[in-house]
Structure 1
Amino acid sequence: MQTEMSKSGSNPFNAISPTANTIINIGFMLYTIACLLPILLIVMVSLSNEQDVLTKGYSFIPNQIDFTAYKFLFTDWQQILRSYGVTIFVTIAGTILSLIIMALYAYPISRTDFPHRKFFTFFIFFTMLFNGGLVPWYLVYVNMLNLRDNIWALVLPLLVSAFFVLVIRTFFQSTIPVAILEAAKIDGASEMLIFFRIVTPLSLPVLATVALFSTVNYWNDWFLSLVFITDDKTLSIQYLMYKMLLNIQFLASNSNAASAIAAAGGQVSFPNETVRMAMAIMGIGPIVFAYPFFQKYFVKGLTVGAVKG
């Protein structure tokens, strides 16, 4: 028995037969291709001619490369760059602040020696079940905090997620050894020093996972711009794309508006389908580059609490 284990090595995956290993690799390759094909199709359609898309449908190989959709989008390139700047600032600032606040909330309620941890745990859990409603929520940010047409109105509402707080708390409880915290306290370390010098480095998997989800939430958000922002200088890129799409659909379906535009010497035909795909590319493009920075922590962070030692 010992000889067989030494031959197979300490890695349990060495016991998998070459045939099974090949089948697994092929399965993952097919799955990866299936995930990439829709993105490739969107790119190809955005580079297609609008008339070809309407007559022949979507195709992975366009008859001719046409940048009309992107030219149409970048007609007002200054507004697009400004909205990109707003979204990038909101995403970076919001992710950093939310991660700090949620981690600082989760750490005390993960400590068994904190006398009020049950109350604060129930307090954050209660917000997952009930909320005050849309109107009181809106009045708090507009009338009390005076954040209408303010870039911080795109940051503050998404700062704290009760679910993420509980995930971080669970990781602290199940992963951080209590003996390390007690030893640091005996050596004279303060609670803040313990948190930033010991707990935080040991919690990179869960913090990176929560940071990734927060980044995606901030980047994809368009509802806050719809509710709080009326000034074009503070529009997020997602809401700007949404407004442009609605404008195109309205002009394409309204004959009176098309006649007025034609009388004024403007463009009457609009690349509706190809513009939609170009907007999707512009919306998801930058956020894709965030994934490689979190990938090595992602699986471990997602499986927190799945196995009890």
Structure 2
Amino acid sequence: MTFLSALLPVVFLVGLGHLLARRGLPGPDGWRAMERLCFTVLFPAMIILVLSRAPFEQAPWKIAVPLMAAQVILASTGLLALLWPGISRPAVGSIIQSNSRWNTFVALSLTGVLFQEEGIALTSLAAAVMIPMANILSVTALTHFADSEPHQKRNPVLELLRNPLVIACIIGGTLNALHLPPTGLIETTLELLSQPAITLGLLAAGAGLNLDALKRAGILTVVWSLVRLLGMPVVAVLIAHYGFDLTGVPLVVVAIAAATPTATNGYILARQLGGDYHLMANLIALETVLAIFTMPAILFVFGLLPS
């Protein structure tokens, strides 16, 4: 399957979710509940099932290290925003968060359509390392660059221990290492829970997208959106291929995971921790639209477009 034929259904479902949300089908509470269901139940079930029975041909750390390194490098690059004339400290925190986060739903959907269980398993490995790193970098940056008003403080370690996707990765990886894949009733239950995960996740992602923010997108938003969308995959792929000799499907998964737009839940975190949440909304909206073009461009430049 070509990348375009995998990308278009993803774009369609995100767009459909956004259209339904704008028409109030269902209401905001319904969409929040759906997103929570995907995050706490459906995606963890899929990750546990796939990771527990995945035959990994490449060393997992060859995927993990380049992606984590790319997150740290892009987050550090965000510090250059301090040089932007007139920029506020909360805006710098939001830019650093944007540079370090990724959209798990989009990555799992694309790699699942392209490479089936192998793609989902490898992307789940990416999630196991990128989600903790993104939380550490985001919480640290947002709290450090927050304005003088008091805001809720979060412990990055506790955030990770409570993250259902991280817990699912640990459970699935442990079962794989012990050669104890789920069977019988447990396997059937996990399979039933896994089936709607990607569809509902993409619809919920579209519902949470604020395209009205595109009207406010200025040069600051455009520049840092492009830095994130182009910088992270370029860094990740170069490190993975030339530093760790990664090739084939694992390298494509690295490229896709790094090339996704920043996560939509970054808006909520920015608002809670004193970041510039208006800028964060702008970055999320613009990156989501631009990623439709930058993702295939990155894969084409590196010769990784599936055919």
TM-score by shorter chain over 0.5: no
Tell which structure's C-alpha radius of gyration is larger: 1
Band the TM-score falls in, shorter-chain normalisation: under 0.3
- Structure 2 length normalisation: TM-score? 0.24
- Structure 1 length normalisation: TM-score? 0.24
